[in-house]
Amino acid sequence: MDAIILQTLNGLDKGSAYALIALGLTLIFGTLGVVNFAHGALFMIGAFCAVTVQRILTLSVITLDPNKTDFLGNPAKIKTPYVEKFFGPEIGAGIIDWSVPLAILFAIPVMIAIGFLMERVLIRHFYHRPHADQILVTFGLAIVLQEVVKYFYGANPVPTPAPAAFAGAIDFGVLIGFDPNQIVYPYWRLIYFLFSIVVIGGVFSFLRFTTFGMVVRAGMADRETVGLLGININKRFTIMFGIAAAVAGLAGVMYAPINSPNFHMGMDFLVLSFVVVVVGGMGSLPGAVLAGFMLGILESYASLNEIKAIIPGIDQIIIYLVAIIILLTRPRGLLGRKGVMEE
């Protein structure tokens, strides 16, 4: 029992990442009808926003300390981050410590700008081309973005720690009546899960309760009619592209402390997120979220030792297996609308 609860919790944070990326993919597909293979790269850029903010905050002025010497006998160099100089050592260290949450503020405008740029410069020329062309050009873009990041940040993962306040783990089992130390769950993963819930809730309520969202939903249902009513639907869809990019970026920012960002993390997540979108149903937002969490949790159940004893290696392939079964038995996905990309 405790193992199952623990695996459910473990599945939640991966599921959150899948759900967030798949949500963005579905937003783009549902609004613009574009299959975006560069979405994983947006997730990766988000994670590197966290790295960038951390680097900016730790930019240091180098001073010589005459009292100490290094092993060559020269005066020791002391690095003092500018932030610590401006705000005093304690507040400065605190700001650096909180660089990942601060990166959210940095990432939102950056990601929206990148999304705008992508849509205006590249994607808009591909609305009337076949899906295969859209896949190919965004695949090329993903390679380019990945290589650019690799050029600036190197090929190795960049450790990006969470704030010290969240460094430990919560003894979750005690809260629900188990013995101590049986279900231990890192704080940051819990935060990640809550954060993703907030973002998902935000996107849904934005679409549900604002006039803008209403127009976008109407456009998703029937683009032409909305256009005939005199609404510039293309402009709204461009904004939605920016929002989808921001969602992927936020998923990346907060994921940085869980797994140190590296340049190919986007590709790794992209394949899985596509599977998630297809399982949830192309064009269905709730489907993407549901399938994201479901597959994340299924994946972590499959890595239980008891299950691996019955079917060895199942944890490696479970997601793909589920996707294949769903695609063959229910091609429109779990919550997909009838007739959307169903052939």
Partner 1 sequence: MFGLDKKDTTLLLVVTLLALLAPFILNPFPEASALAQFNAGYPDLMQRFVIYGIFAVGFNLLFGLTGYLSFGHAAFLGVGSYSAVWIFKLLGMNVLPAIAFSIVISGLFALLIGYISLRRSGIYFSILTLAFAQMSFNMAYSVLTPITNGETGLQLTLSDPRILGQQATADGSIPVTNLLPGLEMRQSVQLELGGWLFTFNTGYYLAAFFLLLAFYIAIRIFRSPFGLMLRAVKSNQQRLNYTGIHTRPYTLAAFVISGMYAGLAGGLLASMDPLAGAERMQWTASGEVVIMTILGGAGTLIGPILGAGFIKYFENIFSKINENILHDWFSFLPQGLQDFVVTIVAPFFGEGWSLSMGLMFMAIVIFLPGGLVEGGQRIGQLFRRKPAAGDAASSQTTPAE
- 11/92 with CB nearer partner 1: 11
Determine the interface stretch with partner 1 among 69-77, 90-98, 179-187, 326-334 (rule: CB under 8 A). Answer: 326-334
Task: Give the list of residues 6+ apart from residue 330 with CB closer than 8 angstroms, or none.
Answer: none
Nearest to 285 by CA among 234, 195, 220, 236: 220
Residue 49: closest CA among 251, 281, 282: 251
Q: Does 127 bind partner 1 (CB under 8 A)?
A: no
| Alpha carbon distances (Å) from 326 to 163, 311, 321, 332 | 40, 20, 9, 9
Q: How far is the CB of 230 from partner 1 (least distance, A)?
A: 32
Are 242 and 116 spatial neighbours (Cβ–Cβ below 8 Å)? yes
Q: Is 288 in the site for partner 1 (CB under 8 A)?
A: no
What's the N-to-C CA distance of the chain in angstroms? 42
Asked if 221 is part of the footprint of partner 1 (rule: CB under 8 A), the reply reads no
Interaction of residue 131 with partner 1, rule CB under 8 A:
yes
Residue 248 sits in the site that holds partner 1 (CB under 8 A): no
Exposure pattern of 277-308 as b/e (b: 16+ CB <10 Å)? bbbbbbbbbebbbbbbbbbbbbbbbbebeeee
- If one asks whether residue 20 binds partner 1 (CB under 8 A), the answer comes out as no
As beta bridge partners, residue 69 has: 75
Stretch touching partner 1 by CB under 8 A, among 94-102, 126-134, 205-213, 254-262: 126-134
139 makes contact with partner 1 (CB under 8 A):
yes
Please pick, from the candidates 136, 170, 174, 184, the single residue that binds partner 1 as defined by CB under 8 A: 136
- For position 133 contacting partner 1 by CB under 8 A, the verdict is yes
d(CA 301, CA 11): 8
Structure tokens belonging to residue 160 = 């990006």
Find the binding residues for partner 1 in span 33-92 (CB under 8 A): 35
Q: How far apart are CA 311 and CA 69, in angstroms?
A: 60
Q: Does 331 bind partner 1 (CB under 8 A)?
A: yes
Q: Which of 90, 313, 338, 339 binds partner 1 (CB under 8 A)?
A: 313
User: In angstroms, what is the minimal distance from the CB of 246 to partner 1?
Assistant: 23
Considering the rule CB under 8 A, would residue 274 count as an interface residue with partner 1? yes
Identify the H or E element spanning 7. helix 2-32
- Interaction of residue 335 with partner 1, rule CB under 8 A: no
Interface residues with partner 1 (CB under 8 A) are 35, 122, 125, 131-133, 135-137, 139-144, 146-148, 151, 267, 271, 274-275, 278, 282, 312-313, 316-317, 320-321, 323-324, 327-328, 331, 341, 343
